Amino acid sequence: MEETIVIDLAIEVAAKAHRTQIRKGTDIPYISHPFAVGLLLAREGCSDEVVAAAILHDTVEDTPITLDYVRQIFGEKVASIVDGCSEPNRHLPWEDRKKHTLEYLRTAPAEVRMVACADKLHNMRAIASDWRRIGDEVWKRFKRGKKEQEWYYRGLVDSLCNHSAPEEGLALFQEFKEEVENLFGKQ
């Protein structure tokens, strides 16, 4: 598949898959999030396959799209990144799923870490923007409140940003750390 075609196809598949979804506690179409994640990575100069995986990162977790479908249409590399960004068992308790994510991201492949960081950076920016607008009401949108969200996002900073890896040179890792510190305070 030609490089630029993979992004166009990812946009089409993701837009259709997420067409009925909205962002938590808003009327914003959900597709704005995967598009923003892809844009963050495109701006960092990532490959078209990484950008496509970013656009598709929530399709397997949150829509009827299967990993086999992603593999068949986009290839093993894109499917592997999407798989790495998906929680393994949505039926587990929130805390167990988040602990698994934190542990996995410490040693995940670089491209998974980049997509995960862009995903979490966009989420953190949206939360921070809404917090400035509506205050602590923002935490009512989530399965867990501010304290648990702070634990999770600080854990993500530790898993994604606090060890030397080649991808840490990307600005988005530092931006993510700064966004978390701006919202929850420095430690």
Active-site residues: which are they?
61-62
The amino acid sitting at 75 is: G
Give the C-alpha separation, 78 to 100, whole Å: 21
Terminal-residue alpha carbon distance, the chain: 46
68, 95 contact by CB (below 8 A): no
Q: Find the radius of gyration of the CA atoms of the chain.
A: 16
What secondary structure letter does DSSP report for 28? S
CA dihedral 100, 101, 104, 105 (to 10 degrees): -160
Alpha-carbon distance values, 124 to 80, 131, 154, 157 (Å): 24, 10, 11, 11
